[in-house]
Every structure is written in structure tokens, then in C-alpha cells.
Structure 1
Amino acid sequence: MMNIMRFKGLPILQQLHIEEQLLRTSSDNWCIINDGTCDPTIVMGVSGKPAELLEIESVLRDQVPVIRRFTGGGTVIVDCGTIFVTFICNKEAVSDLQPYPRPIMSWSGLLYSKVFQGIGDFHLRENDYVFGNHKFGGNAQSITKSRWIHHTSFLWDFDVRNMSYLKLPKRAPAYRFARGHLDFICRMKDYMPRSTFIDKTVEAASTQFSLRSFELEEIETLSETESNPSTRLLSAEELEADVIAGR
């Protein structure tokens, strides 16, 4: 059994707080689909360093929010053109799946191969979802003693101007070939309609789980355990201090 929640335009900080709560306090399996987030927001992995990853002067000038999430992975800027899909599962939820990053990544690649069957040249390349050698889906994970989360930001569309807030990462997949952001990524909208992708993702999940629709209001009754999320907004002072410390 898997509970599924579908949102449209849920703020990404709220979504990440929900995901962290469900990972740590729920014993159910979950699929969360959020069709876009309201305002352009930068989301960094748990160990990301702003001075190495962001053009901080521009970020501060334009007051772009920066979030440090609770999972690993790289840095993305998300907005209304991003579609988010998250799976949160108990370790025994998927038969014969070893709860380690590579097996979970491989499982997700097989699931999305059903979604993109016959569309573009889809495959899992290193830790990215790509059409050919152009990335359109970035992934992050966290694995606890008894559960794991795998969440993805899909670039259905993006604003070229927003990419200027991100520096070229020092560590990048080999297939990137030192390409800049705009030469490295592509838009899903050039391959399939937005609603079709979401419907096909739900359909693919239903081939492995019995899905039950769940409403946001029901989460409050899940557990008496107080959730204290580690995902948070970084302050302007923290961003500035990181630049100074890196000099």
C-alpha cells in the first residue's frame, strides 16, 4: 500500500518539511507529486556550501530564497516550471531492493522508463534522468535505519535567467563535459505534456503499489511525535558569512 498526495503550487519549503516529517515519523509508504512551486527558490543539498555553488551577490541582490534540505544531492533552482515527485518507503516495501543509493536509483530509473517509454532517448545516466545527454531530472536521497526517500525535481520548463544564480559545480557527472547549465539541461515540455507526465507517473507507481489518495490535513493525525525539521531557509547573514569564510 502507498499513500499518494498531489499538490499544485505547494511552496517547496513546506513540501520538504512534509517529506522530512513523513520519513521520520510515519511507517507508511508515500508518493508526493507537486506540480510547480510558487516563487523561484534555490534548494541545496545538506552538505552544500553556498560560496562554492551560488552567485551569492546576485542571490542577495534579487532576494532569492535559499533552502538547505535534509537530503544529499546537488543544488537546483525551482519554480512554477518544476514538477516534484517523491517516494518515501519502508526498506521492505520493494521486493529484493537493497536500501542503498545505487539500487534505489536503479529502481527509480526502471519506474520512469515506463513513464517515458517511446518518448525521447530516456535513460538513467549516472544519477540523472536524461534525454540523450541532456539532463531534465535531478535526484536526491536520504536513507535511515528503516526507511528511505528518493525525490526528484523535473525540469518541465525553466527560466534561462534563473540559471545565472548557479555556479558551475566543482564536482559534475562525466557526461556533462564541462558544459554550462544551458547546454547541459533540457525542457520536458519539448517531449510530453505536463499532465501526461503526472498521469503516467501515477500509473507507473500503481504497477508496484496499491495507491490510496491522501489529503494534507490528514498528516496531522499520523503521529504524536513532534517533528523538528532540519530543512530550513538560510539567512542573508549566513550566505554572507559563508562568502567571507571561503576567502
Structure 2
Amino acid sequence: MLCLFLAGVLVRVLKMLIPQTRNIGLPMMNLMRFKGLPILQQLHIEEQLLRTSSENWCIINDGTNDPTIVMGVSGKPAELLEIESVLHDQVPVIRRFTGGGTVIVDHETIFVTFICNKEAVPDLQPYPRPIMSWSNTLYSKVFQGIGDFHLRENDYVFGNHKFGGNAQSITKNKWIHHTSFLWDFDVRNMAYLKLPKRAPAYRSARGHLDFICRLKDYMPRSIFIDKTVEAAGTHFSLRSLESEAIETCSETEFRPLTRFLTNEELEAAAALAGQ
């Protein structure tokens, strides 16, 4: 079980040793960057930070490992997945702790997460639409002059094609906004996903391949990540932390909601759908 130690001597030492990006007057935000961190571990980290940390965080994970399906907290496998294909090909399925839709992620997906105290962004009401609007302001800096970028029904799009899907969770004192950016994707993986019954109006019943686009066609990968950090630095005073600030242990009182669905659960969902 994942355990997160963010306080104490280790973090204090890191704060003194690691170069800081300071903007006077802006709220402090810890920045952690990973490459290829397994998506389950990333989501566990995010969930624990949301529940237990009193600080603001930005997490960037450049790709994950094997293709993995990630569903929102209330997602129903029988409605969202081609379960027989998922089971046959042994594609892992995760139910995350936030809302939002279903996505299949792999090493070509870039993840960006903001975890903020409610007072961190001045005048921002801690509700889904204001948070989405704030995120649009931030990413408009990243994509300034590139494509026809805008926020459309909670998706990041170029023109009429989606390349970024968002999910959120709001607690008493904090909120999280995380995004999966489709840098690239394997066409074959899209076949594991059904067309959702609840879809944005602008999708117009288009299939996956007619609905999404690749970020790589608009911007180099490293430039996107650098520009995202730069844009975050206009809203926060960033403090970089090394990944060693996160340790694992076998025992912890924190029990994440995010988990893999078992084959038995998927089989039961498929059987129920077939009735």
C-alpha cells in the first residue's frame, strides 16, 4: 500500500537544496515531475495529497506504463467498455477517485494535475465550472498562437477535436483538477471504449477516431511540458521537489479509493449487461 511522507526533515532539506522559482506575492506550489510513473501510483499520490496535505501541488507525469483504462468514480463498465475484449486482452481497468469520463492511457499520454487549497486562487469559487474556467486561462497561455485552442464542454480541444480530458474532485478545503493529454494514441486501443451514452453535444455522435486528435501534431512534447510549468509559474510561486520526497511503506492509515477492478467485477458487469 502506498504511503506518502511529505513532512519532516526530508522535505525541509529538499526545500533548502533544490533551486526555487519564486514570484513574490503568489501562493506557494510544490512541483513534482515524473516520467513513466504507473498511473495507479500517480492517482494514489494525488488522492493522498488531496486528503492529507495542507499545501498546493502540481504533478506532471510524462507517460505511464502499459495501456490502462481509467474510469471515473461513478463509471459503469458495461456502459463504457467493450468488456469481452478488455478481458480477452487483459487490459487493466482502474476506477479513480474523481469524476469525469473514461480514457485509455499509455506512454504517449501526458498527465498534469493541480491540487489546490480553496483560497490559493484569488476569487475562484470552488465549484467545477469556475475551476474549469481557471484551467482554461492557464492553458491558454500554453497554447497561445497554436491551433484553435479552447475549452469546450469541459474538454480541451483544437477546433472541434478533443486532445485533453479533465476530471475533478472538491473537498471541504481543497480541490483537484487533473488532465490526460493525448500526445499520441494507438488507434487499436480506442476499440476497448464504447461510445458513452452521456457525451458532450459538440461530439455529435462521432466515433473516437473522428472526435479526438493528437497533441504531437501541434507542439513538441518537451515544449508543452516546459510551457505548462511556465504557465503555472504565472499563478504560483513554484518550488520543485525531487521524487525522493515520496516513499512507500506497507502500512498506512490512508486507504485510497482508486483501485483496479477485478476480472470478477468486469465479468459480473458483462453478465448483467447481457441480461
Q: Which amino acid aligns with 1:60?
A: L
Looking at structure 2, the residues matched to 106 and 220 of structure 1 have their Cα atoms a distance apart, in angstroms, of 34
Q: For 1:85, what is the secondary structure of its paired residue? A: strand
In the other structure, the counterpart of 1:83 is 110
| Counterpart check, 1:134 vs 2:138 | no
Q: Which amino acid aligns with 1:160?
A: V
Looking at structure 2, the residues matched to 66 and 219 of structure 1 have their Cα atoms a distance apart, in angstroms, of 25
Looking at structure 1, the residues matched to 59 and 240 of structure 2 have their Cα atoms a distance apart, in angstroms, of 10
| Offset at residue 216 of structure 1 (A) | 2.8
In the other structure, the counterpart of 2:186 is 159
In the other structure, the counterpart of 1:19 is 46
| Counterpart check, 1:227 vs 2:254 | yes
CA offsets per residue over residues 57-108 of structure 1, 9 Å max, x none?
A: 0000000000000000000000011000000000000000000000000000
In the other structure, the counterpart of 1:35 is 62
Choose the corresponding residue for 1:170, options 197, 206, 221.
197
Q: Which amino acid aligns with 1:103?
A: P
Decide whether the 8 Å contact of 2:84 with 2:270 is kept in 1: no
CA-based RMSD:
1.3
Looking at structure 2, the residues matched to 68 and 13 of structure 1 have their Cα atoms a distance apart, in angstroms, of 9
In the other structure, the counterpart of 1:120 is 147
Instruction: Please report the TM-score for the alignment, with normalisation by the length of structure 2.
Output: 0.87
Choose the corresponding residue for 2:124, options 97, 100, 104.
97
Higher relative contact order (CA 8 A, sep 6+): 2
Identity score, percent = 87
| Counterpart check, 1:10 vs 2:37 | yes
Q: Which amino acid aligns with 2:126?
A: P
CA offsets per residue over residues 161-209 of structure 1, 9 Å max, x none?
A: 0000000000000000110000000000000000000000000000010
| Counterpart check, 1:192 vs 2:223 | no
In the other structure, the counterpart of 2:206 is 179
Q: Which amino acid aligns with 1:210?
A: S
In the other structure, the counterpart of 1:144 is 171
Runs of 4+ in 1 over 2 A off after TM superposition: none
Q: For 1:39, what is the secondary structure of its paired residue? A: coil
Unmatched 5+ residue regions in structure 2? 1-27
Q: For 1:112, what is the secondary structure of its paired residue? A: helix
Unmatched 5+ residue regions in structure 1? none
Q: For 1:58, what is the secondary structure of its paired residue? A: helix
In the other structure, the counterpart of 1:204 is 231
